[in-house]
Amino acid sequence: MEIKIKTIHFEAGEKLQDYIQKRVSKIEKFSSDIRKVEVSLKVTKPETSMNKSASLSVALPGGELFAEKIGDSFEEAVDLCMETLTRQLEKYKEKVRAAKK
């Protein structure tokens, strides 16, 4: 599984990149079909709180799963995206299992 991190208008530190790699790699347990995960990070409104935006796109055979969340920190936004993607992957897994029957 390839994890691609894209930042918009800033440079992500090594600590943040490591956190994202570690957190995102956990979704591999849901499906071995996951080919690529793209993570996009951006600061939406610099002068306010809740201004860190993260979006995750998961490439699967026959489709793509997507989640976008805003939080106080990039870590929080990534965690929120992961919760959403976990639910989507569980539904995907059930769908694939049902199709095989």
CA distance linking residue 22 with residue 55, whole number of Å: 16
What's the pLDDT tens digit per position in 23-73?
Answer: 999 988 887 888 899 999 999 877 778 899 999 999 988 789 999 999 999
- Closest C-alpha to 63, from 86, 39, 95: 95
The CATH number of domain 2-100, selected from 3.30.56.10, 3.30.1360.80, 3.30.70.580, 3.30.160.100: 3.30.160.100
What's the pLDDT tens digit per position in 81-101?
Answer: 999 999 999 998 888 888 877
pLDDT of residue 61: 84
